[in-house]
């Protein structure tokens, strides 16, 4: 993992502007998502007159806010007061229609923000993969002829194709892990603390258990991924050897033998992926 972060620090900086835009859109998407759900609570309480609904008679001044709980009460009280006044003026039916349209508009903005955050990652992904391929090709041209006599050409082709594709997928997941998921986690955690800090602290108890389980699964997947890359390299090497010695294969009528050999290697690669 440390080596992969070094790869990110090496190749991602030229695309910092796209990364900044992605972070901004992720923050906006998280805020709109929380807003869409949070506004439903007082609206349903007032419109359907649930037992938890209470009549708010006056606004609370910001000067009376001295703590986090005071800020939470200030927001809840004033939001409920404004909605109650709106219901009293236009009626519950019109209020429900207007708020429903507002929530639909907010949901649209949230979806657009999420799409833009994903779209701004694409230039980073494709650009990093392009840079890695360019450097690999330049490295191949700079190697001595003795290297190619000891190294199978299929291994080199596999690195240019399969391994680079693995890096592309790892880049996407790593960027989500570093820039997208923390924003969502922090935003949702703050929202949960505002709603009920007791229940939030209770759920935190299970975080180490989930973290251990995810780490265990991640180590298993990493081991299988390394094995799959090795099998893919063997597959490409078999293809390269066949193309290079096709005349010899046909001269000795060894097509069936080579087909069985390739089928064995290809089946091992498939079985590794299916596990």
Specify the DSSP element, H or E, that contains 262: helix 255-274
Answer left, alpha or beta for residue 67, where phi above 0 means left and psi between -120 and 50 means alpha: beta
**Model pLDDT for residues 198-252, shown as the tens digit of each residue:** 777 777 787 778 778 777 777 776 666 667 777 777 777 777 778 778 788 888 8
Q: Does 114 lie in the same domain as 33?
A: yes
Residue ranges making up the domain that contains 103: 2-196
Q: Does 163 lie in the same domain as 67?
A: yes
Residue 201 located in a structural domain: no
Q: Does 274 lie in the same domain as 147?
A: no
Q: Where are the alpha helices (DSSP H) in 143-254?
A: 145-150, 153-158, 164-175, 181-195, 197-204, 207-244, 246-251
Q: Which long-range contacts (CB under 8 A, 24 or more apart) does 78-87 make?
A: 79/39, 79/42, 80/42, 80/45, 80/46, 80/54, 80/56, 81/56, 81/57, 83/42, 83/43, 83/46, 84/46, 84/55, 84/56, 87/46, 87/47
| Nearest residue to 245 (alpha-carbon basis) of 182, 107, 153 | 153
Residue 256 located in a structural domain: yes
What's the confidence (pLDDT) of residue 53? 52
| Nearest residue to 192 (alpha-carbon basis) of 182, 200, 184 | 200
Q: Does 232 lie in the same domain as 111?
A: no
Under 8 Å between Cβ of 172 and 181: no
Q: Does 234 lie in the same domain as 112?
A: no
CA 142 to CA 162: how far, in whole Å?
Answer: 22
Residue 207 located in a structural domain: no
Q: Does 234 lie in the same domain as 159?
A: no
Residue 204 located in a structural domain: no
Q: What value does the mean pLDDT take over residues 127-144?
A: 82
The residue out of 150, 166, 196 marking a domain boundary is: 196
Q: Does 269 lie in the same domain as 142?
A: no
**Model pLDDT for residues 84-114, shown as the tens digit of each residue:** 777 778 777 777 788 778 888 888 888 898 8
**Which is it for the CA torsion 41, 56, 88, 61, positive or negative?**
negative
* Six token digits for residue 167: 């890096």
Q: Does 152 lie in the same domain as 260?
A: no
| Nearest residue to 39 (alpha-carbon basis) of 89, 130, 91, 101 | 101
The values of phi and psi at residue 253, to 5°, are 55, 45
Residue 203 located in a structural domain: no
What's the confidence (pLDDT) of residue 3? 62
Residue 82 located in a structural domain: yes
Domain count for the chain: 2
Count helices and strands in the chain by DSSP H and E runs: 14, 0
Q: Does 139 lie in the same domain as 78?
A: yes
The residue out of 196, 223, 246 marking a domain boundary is: 196
Percent of residues, the chain, with pLDDT higher than 70: 80
Q: What value does the mean pLDDT take over residues 130-135?
A: 84
3-class SS shares of the chain: helix, strand, coil, % to 5? 85, 0, 15
Q: How confident is the model at residue 179 (pLDDT cuts 50, 70, 90)?
A: confident
Q: Does 260 lie in the same domain as 176?
A: no
List Cα–Cα distances, 118 to 127, 178, 209, in angstroms: 15, 14, 30
Comparison of pLDDT for 47 and 82, the residue scoring more = 82
Q: List the single range of 141-155, 175-189, 256-270 with lowest mean pLDDT.
A: 141-155
Residue 249 located in a structural domain: yes
What's the confidence (pLDDT) of residue 51? 47
List Cα–Cα distances, 119 to 10, 26, 151, in angstroms: 22, 11, 39
The residue out of 161, 196, 231 marking a domain boundary is: 196
Averaged confidence pLDDT in the chain? 77
């Amino acid at each position: 993992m440390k080596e992969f972060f070094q790869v990110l620090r090496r190749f991602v900086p030229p695309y910092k502007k796209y990364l900044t835009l992605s972070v901004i859109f992720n923050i906006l998407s998280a805020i709109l998502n929380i807003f869409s759900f949070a506004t439903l609570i007082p609206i349903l309480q007032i419109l359907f007159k649930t037992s938890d609904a209470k009549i708010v008679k006056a606004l609370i001044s910001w000067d009376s806010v001295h703590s986090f709980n005071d800020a939470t009460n200030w927001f809840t009280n004033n939001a409920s007061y404004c909605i109650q006044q709106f219901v009293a003026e236009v009626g519950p039916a019109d209020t429900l229609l207007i708020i429903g349209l507002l929530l639909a508009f907010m949901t649209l903005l949230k979806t657009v923000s999420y799409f833009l955050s994903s779209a701004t990652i694409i230039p980073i992904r494709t650009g990093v993969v392009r840079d890695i391929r360019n450097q690999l090709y330049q490295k191949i041209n700079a190697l001595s002829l003795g290297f190619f006599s000891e190294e199978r050409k299929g291994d080199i082709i596999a690195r240019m194709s399969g391994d680079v594709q693995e890096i592309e997928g790892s880049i996407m997941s790593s960027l989500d892990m570093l820039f997208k998921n923390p924003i969502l986690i922090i935003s949702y955690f703050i929202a949960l603390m505002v709603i009920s800090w007791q229940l939030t602290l209770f759920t935190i108890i299970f975080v180490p258990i989930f973290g251990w389980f995810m780490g265990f699964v991640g180590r298993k997947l990493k081991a299988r991924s390394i094995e799959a890359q090795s099998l893919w390299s063997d597959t490409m090497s078999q293809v390269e050897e066949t193309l290079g010695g096709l005349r010899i294969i046909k001269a000795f009528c060894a097509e069936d033998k080579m087909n069985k050999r390739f089928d064995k290697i290809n089946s091992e690669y498939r079985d590794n992926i299916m596990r």
